[in-house]
Amino acid sequence: MNVERELKLLEKEPAEQFRCGYCGTQVPSYNPQFGICQLCELYTDKSAKELKKNAQLTDLLDSLQSSIASGNQNDALKSFETLFASTKNAGVLLASAMLHLSIADEEFGKRDYQTPNGYMEENSAHSKAALAHYSSAKALFFKAISVADMEIKTNPDSNLLYIKFLSQLRLGQLRGAKNSLEALNANAKGLPITLYSNLLYSCAMNDKKLVPPFEAVLQLGTLPAFYYYADFLANKNDLGAAKKILIKLLKYAEMSAAKKLLSGIERVQTVL
Ligand SMILES: [Zn+2]
């Protein structure tokens, strides 16, 4: 792998723009066929215009996104509930869980260890809020798996398998995730979402002897894959390259995990 070459891929702004049908995020992508949402990591090949054909869905997604943009996270979470009530889609549960995770990260980030004891209470309030969001996320991932399972029985669609796989991965259920990945590899071999899933699984396994299939997946041109690449480089102590990639990535797409990794790298660099 060649970091300079991978960085070159991020030089130009992604020309394609999709919209996530599960959380309403605008999804930039280098790939003209599809993108992976930077908030919920779900697959989308729909433009905002195409999604508009379903006016009710678009209205809900718009209001969800405007809540997120104005910082009203609780309203956004309520919109997810309304969206699930009308769609019964496992992907909506997963997207909602991902928003809980990003709020939890934000709450943890608000803790302040610089100020004297007087602020301890505030720190503990942030920790408590973060833990509550983590447990809500966990419950939603479990629910997403059971809803996906029900549907997979009659419709073993690759998207549903991916939703199940991603939820299992986020719950740390590596054995279950491996089974779902095998089903994806058997049912939908060669599809971009299958390639992407193999990358995620390989990153989660963190096996030092194996190099995750970055080359093939980065060429697909979806933005979140670059986060995993940066994380991989950071684990190999190549902090400079990881940082460069994250800064470019965050210019195009707001991704909570990427922000968290970048601030972690910057903290380490200040200490060094
Ligand atoms: Zn999304």
- The tens digit of pLDDT for each residue in 49-81 reads 999 999 999 999 999 999 999 999 999 999 999
Residue 99 tokens read as: 């928003």
Rounded to the nearest angstrom, the distance between the alpha carbon of 52 and the centre of ligand 1 is 16
Between CA 15 and CA 25 the distance in angstroms is 16
The pLDDT tens digits of the residues spanning 240-249 come to 999 999 999 9
| pLDDT for position 217 | 93
The pLDDT tens digits of the residues spanning 78-98 come to 999 999 999 999 999 999 999
Rounded to the nearest angstrom, the distance between the alpha carbon of 98 and the centre of ligand 1 is 9
Rounded to the nearest angstrom, the distance between the alpha carbon of 58 and the centre of ligand 1 is 13
Between CA 244 and CA 246 the distance in angstroms is 6
Rounded to the nearest angstrom, the distance between the alpha carbon of 70 and the centre of ligand 1 is 17
Rounded to the nearest angstrom, the distance between the alpha carbon of 53 and the centre of ligand 1 is 18
Rounded to the nearest angstrom, the distance between the alpha carbon of 19 and the centre of ligand 1 is 8
pTM to 2 decimals?
0.93
The b/e string for 128-152 (b: 16+ C-beta within 10 A; e otherwise) is: ebbeebbebbbebbbbbbebbeebb
Rounded to the nearest angstrom, the distance between the alpha carbon of 26 and the centre of ligand 1 is 8
Residue 12: pLDDT over 90: yes
Residue 236 tokens read as: 């190999």
Q: What is the 3-state secondary structure (H, E, C) of 46-80?
A: CCHHHHCCCHHHHHHHHHHHHHHHCCCHHHHHHHH
Rounded to the nearest angstrom, the distance between the alpha carbon of 271 and the centre of ligand 1 is 35
